[in-house]
Amino acid sequence: MGDKIRVVVAGAYGKMGREVVKAVLHDKALELVGAVDVKGRGTDLGTLVGEAPIGQEISGELEILLKQNCPHVLIDFTNPQAVLRNIHTALDNQTCSVVGTTGLTAEELQEIDHKAKEKALGVFVAPNFALGAVLMMKFARETARYFPHVEIIELHHDQKVDAPSGTSLRTVDLISEKRPVFRQGAINEYEKVAGVRGGEINGIRLHSVRLPGLIAHQEVIFGGLGQILTLRHDSINRECFMPGVLLAVHKVRQLRGLVVGLEELLDD
């Protein structure tokens, strides 16, 4: 077996970050060489995930960590305000990135793609790393060929700051590949409460729910003559995202430029 893949985790103190740290520690092909977060600095990474101390602590300086430890891959689960800067810092230090943070704009993604290609490095971004969610999106794309009338309801915990979710936006993109743009609903439809019909992209309505107790959930509801078809995915805990994250970590060094969506790796 070749050398281990050296990994740094950004956003390690958060709920997703802790799961990532634990998953990396338990993957024999990976070596955790550092972690950063604005919170929890000095916390041992083993203690962070409820295990024995490993002698590595959360740092506050990503660039210093990258220069000192020369990782192959940065895994980023931070926030929309930090992720773009982190990706550029990684590319400047010859490090690939696997990104689960949502909120990057189309212009920012284009900028990342251009720079990654210049550096001959891979950057992988996924709105959802759960394999079931990826399959739901693939099924939704195919279903839209036969059921063009569709609405999406996405439900997340109340600490999620962006709406709609990256998963729902990606679902719209995939459905739009098979569905013509048209206005759904009654021609004379009106809202008695502003926004009650949700947001709209390409004639598809999106609805966002934010409540404590939820993690990550989505329904794609298709309507046809005399029938309804619903595709639903529920993330019961954050462990469900880890197989997808690890798959991306193992494959990102084979990429050049930006790749979006876990389905792109499953098709290989």
Angle between helices 131-143 and 166-176 (to 10 degrees): 30
Q: Could you tell me if 20 and 121 lie in one domain?
A: yes
Give the whole-number percent of the chain exceeding pLDDT 90.
89
Give the whole-number percent of the chain exceeding pLDDT 70.
99
Catalytic residue among 119, 156, 207, 233: 156
Q: Could you tell me if 37 and 110 lie in one domain?
A: yes
User: Which amino acid does the sequence have at 135?
Assistant: L
Are 215 and 160 contacting, i.e. CB atoms less than 8 angstroms apart? Answer: no
Q: Could you tell me if 63 and 184 lie in one domain?
A: no
Domain CATH code at residue 246: 3.40.50.720
Domain that holds residue 151: 131-235
Q: Is 55 exposed, middle or buried (0-12, 13-18, 19+ CB in 10 A)?
A: exposed
Nearest-angstrom CA–CA distance, 28 and 13: 22
Which pLDDT score is estimated for 127?
Answer: 86
Other Cβ atoms less than 10 A from the Cβ of 161: the count is 12
Tokens of 95: 């490090």
Q: Could you tell me if 169 and 76 lie in one domain?
A: no
Catalytic residue among 160, 178, 250, 251: 160
Residue 160 bears catalytic tag: yes
Residue 178 bears catalytic tag: no
Per-residue pLDDT of 102-121, as tens digits, reads 888 999 999 999 999 999 99
Which pLDDT score is estimated for 267?
Answer: 64
Per-residue pLDDT of 178-204, as tens digits, reads 999 999 999 999 999 999 999 999 999
